Amino acid sequence: MKVYFQQPGSLLLELLIVIGVIAIIIPIIAQIVVSSLSANKWSMENKIATELVDESIKAIENSSFEKWQNIYNKTKGPDNHYYSLKSAGSWIVNPGDESLTVNGLSYTRYFTIANVCRSDVDKSIITTVGVPPCTVGNSDDPSTQKITVTVFWRDGTISREVYLTRWRNQVCHQTNWSGTGVTPVACPSAVYESATNIDTTGLPGSLRLQAN
């Protein structure tokens, strides 16, 4: 039978090697764990921001659906910020930024509005930088508006562009022809643009052609 004797100090050397390996591996593992937690945290925050963008777009659509002028009559451009708010059962558009807190984190949300130019040839939307104002060969489309929704928070920013189209118009039943005018009016109205050889002084709601 052979008996092996370990050299003095070899056990200590092995222990030092193991400690050294552990000292190298632990920081790497810790870094991986921290990076993973950070990525998961940012992913959750980004998911919340995306949901806030979706929520804002839905609110803007509701505002324009209730009344197109809620959107169209606002001052346009990237420096004019708005947010939608429901008040007394109706959607309204307020100027400024909206501050929100979700899961203890602060988010800021706003949207901007821009007019839209379409090609005179195929009616496609012109997306060139700097348009509008519309250039030669394309024209402003008052029934389409470009909406850009932005949400930003401590660790990021997301934006999305959508185009809203006016597809529903209000029918105005006019029964009074007592005045003329060329400016937009509320419905119902007694104002029309002009009349030639038409007598509007008869029964309410009636028109009578006059002889030349």
pLDDT digits (tens, 9 = 90+) for 77-110: 999 999 998 888 888 899 999 999 998 999 999 9
Tokens of residue 193, six digits: 């643009």
Q: Which amino acid is at 110?
A: Y
pLDDT over 90 (residue 208):
no
pLDDT over 70 (residue 36):
no
Q: Which of 5-9, 15-19, 56-60, 162-166 has the lowest mean pLDDT?
A: 5-9
pLDDT over 70 (residue 3):
no
pLDDT on residue 13 = 66
Alpha-carbon distance of 92 to 109, in angstroms, equals 15
Residue % of the chain over a pLDDT of 70:
72
Range of the domain at 89: 39-165
Q: According to the per-residue pLDDT averaged within each range, which of 1-5, 109-113, 174-178 is highest?
A: 109-113
Alpha-carbon distance of 64 to 93, in angstroms, equals 10
3-state secondary structure the chain: CCCCCCCCCHHHHHHHHHHHHHHHHHHHHHHHHHHHHHHHHHHHHHHHHHHHHHHHHHHHHHHHHHCCHHHHCCCCCCCCCEEEEEECCEEEEEECCEEEEECCEEEEEEEEEEEEEEECCCCCECCCCCCCCCCCCEEEEEEEEEEEEEEEECCEEEEEEEEEECCCCCCCCCCCCCEECCCCCCCCCCEECCCCCEECCCCCCCCEECCC
pLDDT on residue 155 = 87
Question: Does 148 or 193 have the greater pLDDT score?
Answer: 148
The answer as to whether 68 is a domain residue is: yes
The answer as to whether 30 is a domain residue is: no
Residue 203 pLDDT level (bands cut at 50, 70, 90): low
Q: What is the pTM of this model?
A: 0.65
The answer as to whether 1 is a domain residue is: no
The answer as to whether 25 is a domain residue is: no
Q: Is residue 120 exposed (0-12), middle (13-18) or buried (19+ Cβ within 10 Å)?
A: exposed
Q: Which of 34-43, 54-63, 112-121 has the lowest mean pLDDT?
A: 34-43
Q: Return the bridge partners of 147, or none.
A: 113, 162
pLDDT on residue 197 = 72
Question: Does 90 or 52 have the greater pLDDT score?
Answer: 52
The answer as to whether 200 is a domain residue is: no
Domain count, the chain: 1
- Average of per-residue pLDDT across 194-205: 68
Tokens of residue 32, six digits: 């991986």
Residue 193 pLDDT level (bands cut at 50, 70, 90): confident
pLDDT on residue 90 = 81
The answer as to whether 133 is a domain residue is: yes
The answer as to whether 136 is a domain residue is: yes
Can you tell me which residue has the tokens 């307020």? 94
pLDDT on residue 162 = 95
